[in-house]
Amino acid sequence: MSKRKLELMSKHITEEMDDEERVASQRAEFDSEQVVIAMTYEEFKQQLQQQLKQAKPEQTEVLEQKLEYEEGLHSDRLAQLEARIKTFEAEIATTAVRRKKRRTVDSALVDCLDIADQGLKGSTWQSIQKVRHIQYKIEPVKVDMTSEQQAKYRTVLQELKDRGFKVSQYRSDHSDI
């Protein structure tokens, strides 16, 4: 494995571990918040039930209304927390997809640079085909690439041209076919 590929892998692994740590921390925070909501509700419910046992008939209706209000408040808090959790989960999924795409593109660019370093004379027909295949696969996702990746892609293509490789321009739109 090339030094560039190894550095790239360690960078991606570090980013992934940082994200996993952040996700675990956020999930623990959500769990804690859920426990706090449940405990607050249970404490208030117990207090109201004790008051109901000792209440006069005219006070029971007011205390029952307070209990219903607390039940509604408890449900609303749990619903809000659940909505935040779902938003967080969707964010995690989006981040994972974005990271996978970025990792795939970065890996392909490193492969092309490694082949370019070998030069056209030292390359096998398989590596030349690999460059063409990578380029054909990267062109359609160019719009999703970061500006850093696009700059690196242009650099890789120029490096390949300088080393004598044929670099084709692939069209991602098929409007004139």
Predicted pLDDT at 26: 92
Predicted pLDDT at 173: 52
Pick from 111, 97, 91: nearest CA to 141: 97
pLDDT band at 10 (very low <50, low <70, confident <90, very high): confident
Q: What is the pLDDT of residues 74-128, one digit of tens each?
A: 999 999 999 999 999 999 888 888 888 888 888 888 888 888 887 777 777 787 7
Q: What is the pLDDT of residues 25-37, one digit of tens each?
A: 999 999 999 999 9
Domain residue ranges in the chain? 3-162
Q: Is the pTM of this model over 0.85?
A: no
Q: Which residue has the tokens 């609303």?
A: 76
pLDDT band at 71 (very low <50, low <70, confident <90, very high): very high
Q: How far apart are CA 96 and CA 133, in angstroms?
A: 25
Q: How far apart are CA 126 and CA 114, in angstroms?
A: 13
At 105, which helix (H) or strand (E)?
A: helix 57-122
Q: Name the more confident of 129 and 47.
A: 47
Beta-carbon neighbour count of residue 131 at 10 Å? Answer: 23
Q: How far apart are CA 138 and CA 112, in angstroms?
A: 11
